[in-house]
Amino acid sequence: MKTALVIPCFMAKKMLKKVLKGIPKFVNFIILVDDNCPEKTVSYTLKTISDKRIYAIYNKQNIGVGGSVLIGYKKAIQLGSDLVIKIDSDGQMDLSKLPKIFKIFKADRGLAYVKGNRFYSIKSIIKMPFIRLFGNLILTLMNKFSSGYWKINDPTNGYTAINTNYLKRLKLNKIKKNFFFESDMLFHLNCLGAKVYDIDIEAKYNVNNSSTLVIYKVIPYFIKNHIINFAKRIFRNVILLILYLISITLFLSIFLNDLNFIFFLIIFLLTILYDITKQPK
């Protein structure tokens, strides 16, 4: 099972080298996508580290983390990957979980998507900054309604892995390219009826790598897009239900009509037979 690791890179000049050194040998391809970083994160790092598995892509303009991941996905498909794992370049993701993710997919080839979940343990939760915890709880609840995955938590977690068979079926151009990317992925996977699995992953929070997202500013944007996705999902399901009911009704109608005809034919034949047998000799 060929495995590609996609790493969107932005303002991670101090951390990327450490991240690359921690990648296990079973990973076949390492795809670095520099999102027009002012620090030139990728080119700077590749001056001091050499790995034949690395493929570097440089965006001409900043398109957002989601857009960079999608570019990495397309490259992974071109390279013939069976599994594509996405991590961040800031060193906040536990790379020791990579073998476990690989084994999960190897054991269940029908699995579509695995994502990190920081809410599995109290130990992980208490390490999370309060504002992030509060924001994630709100976003988790909204995502359950919009995506339809009621058992999935921590939807904004960027530690993800996807089966390439499902990746090829996704309409990648329809998925949001900004910070709504992870949440939108779940919605689009649900449209395919894909099997999604949560894995316990404890995040590491570095002082020098604080999030650039301002919770109170992004919440309205998330609310709007979750409402849109919820409406799309309900509309799609209602339409499918209506078509299903119509097809069932049509089938029953045809079946009952045929049954009536057969019943009428049997009665008619029995009547004729009765008349013949009852005729006086």
Q: How far apart are CA 206 and CA 15, in angstroms?
A: 10
Tokens of 70: 């999608």
Range list of β-strands (E), the chain = 3-9, 29-34, 54-58, 83-86, 113-117, 160-163, 196-200
In this prediction the pTM is 0.81
Question: DSSP code of 223?
Answer: H
Question: In this predicted structure, what is the pLDDT of residue 280?
Answer: 47
Strands (DSSP E) contained in 143-265 are 160-163, 196-200
* Cα–Cα distance for residue pair 274/135, rounded to 1 Å: 81
CA distance 86 to 73: 9
Predicted local distance difference test score (pLDDT) of residue 263:
65
What confidence score (pLDDT) does residue 181 get? Answer: 95
Give CA–CA dist 8/87, Å, rounded. 8
Distance CA 229, CA 238 (A): 14
The Cα–Cα gap between 156 and 221 comes to: 14
Distance between CA 72 and CA 84 in Å, rounded?
9
CB 33 within 8 A of CB 45: no
Which stretches in the chain have pLDDT values below 50?
207, 278-281
Tokens of 7: 């790493």
Q: What is the CATH number of domain 3-214?
A: 3.90.550.10
The residues, any chain, with a CB within 8 Å of residue 49's CB and separated by 6 or more, are 17, 20, 21
Residue 47's pLDDT is 93
pLDDT of residue 17: 94
* Every domain of the chain and the residues it spans: 3-214
**What whole-number distance in Å separates Cα of residue 19 and Cα of residue 91?**
6
What span, in angstroms and rounded, lies between the C-alpha atoms of 42 and 48? 10
Radius of gyration of the chain (CA): 27
pLDDT in tens, 14-58: 999 999 999 999 999 999 999 999 999 999 999 999 899 999 999
Cβ proximity of 24 and 48 under 8 Å: no
pLDDT at 139: 86
Virtual CA dihedral for 67, 194, 121, 9, nearest 10 degrees?
A: -20
pLDDT at residue 270 in the model: 62
The CA distances from residue 64 to 56, 82, 176, 177, 201, in Å, are 17, 25, 9, 6, 24
